[in-house]
Amino acid sequence: MGVGIEVHGLNAWYGKNLALNSIDMSVPANHVTAVIGPSGCGKSTFVRCLNRMHETIPEAYAEGSVKVGEMDVYGSGSDPVEVRRRIGMVFQKPNPFPTMSIYGNVAAGLKLNGFRNRKQMDELVERSLRLAALWDEVKDNLHKKSGASLSGGQQQRLCIARALAVEPEVLLMDEPASALDPISTSKIEELIFQLKQHYTVVIVTHNMQQAARVAELTGFFLMGSLIEYDKTEKIFTTPADKRTEDYVTGRFG
């Protein structure tokens, strides 16, 4: 089951540059929430702050309050590694581990976190690949084929399976379909829709139609600020803010 996310007064910097300015946002559990905005608006930075990936970039840091379920992400005793284990992430470009088999990729998060039960691992790998709608396509080549030998769309679903295998509560997706063809994209979108039964999904996208298709809630970012956050249909039919309207109608930039 997914958990909700509560963000209060979140600021993020790259060195001296403020990338996110006092973001407040409440993401409900088991919903798909889209984050849209023009390039450089901070939307990717925002989701990367949710699982403390932001600070892996040199000189980047964030402050403020992010609560994911009961977990205080930026609390004093919080361990970024543990945070990232509980909040899965899927990236823009499919990034399977190049030297590992399909099975190895999905099991990597478990193995490298010290999970040893082989039978249970087999089950988790199968479950994750099924959830990612990839099982039927790869079940005969789990150990024979490398993750990098799959097609782009399959690689991305493999990456989703890999993220799901460690059983996160929240799944963050940073433009997960931007490098894929339309058929693979619609598969990923269908998958996102299914996933919300089990997870809370936050998806960054520069494709507004995609946000409109998959998300129940949509937040519009501009120059590091959250301009408007509402039901998706509201954002795309009758946004309250002029800047949102300019962006969704394409009159912006």
In the bound state with other proteins, the residue whose beta carbon lies nearer, of 56 and 151, is: 56
CB burial class (10 A; 0-12, 13-18, 19+) of residue 253?
exposed
Binding mask 136-165 for other proteins (x = CB under 8 A): ----------x------------x--xx--
Q: What is the DSSP letter of 55?
A: G
Q: Which residues contact residue 65 at a Cβ distance below 8 angstroms, ignoring those fewer than 6 apart?
A: 6, 7, 8, 9, 10, 72, 74
Contacts of 137 (CB under 8 A, 6+ apart): 154
Instruction: Work out how close the CB of 9 gets to other proteins at its nearest, in angstroms, rounded to a whole number.
Output: 25
CA dihedral of residues 33, 96, 184, 167 (deg, nearest 10): -40
Select the span of 69-77, 95-103, 122-130, 219-227 touching other proteins (CB under 8 A): 95-103
DSSP state letters, 128-151: HHHHTT-HHHHGGGTTTSBGGGS-
How many residues sit close enough to other proteins to count as binding (CB under 8 A)?
45
Question: Counting contacts by CB under 8 A, is residue 176 touching other proteins?
Answer: no
Site for other proteins in 31-60 (CB under 8 A): 51, 53, 56, 58
- Asked whether position 120 contacts other proteins by CB under 8 A, the answer is no
Q: State in angstroms the smallest separation of the CB of 209 from other proteins.
A: 6
* Residue among 113 and 120 whose Cβ is closer to other proteins: 113
Query: Which one of residues 6, 216, 230, 245 is an interface residue with other proteins (CB under 8 A)?
Result: 245
Q: Which of 62, 89, 180, 214 binds other proteins (CB under 8 A)?
A: 89
Residues 228/241, Cβ–Cβ less than 8 Å: yes
Scan for tokens 């301009």, then name that residue.
227
Identify which of residues 134 and 208 has a Cβ nearer to other proteins in the complex.
Answer: 208
Is residue 1 within 8 A of residue 70, CB to CB? The reply is no
Rounded Cα distance between 50 and 58, Å, is 17
- Quick check: 3 binds other proteins (CB under 8 A)? no
Q: Which range in 1-9, 122-130, 132-140, 235-243 contacts other proteins by CB under 8 A? A: 235-243
Spatial CB neighbours of 198, under 8 Å, sequence gap ≥ 6: 1, 2, 30, 131
Q: Which residues bind other proteins (CB under 8 A)?
A: 51, 53, 56, 58, 81-86, 88-89, 91, 93, 95-101, 104, 108-109, 112-113, 146, 159, 162-163, 166, 208-209, 212, 235-239, 244-245, 248-251
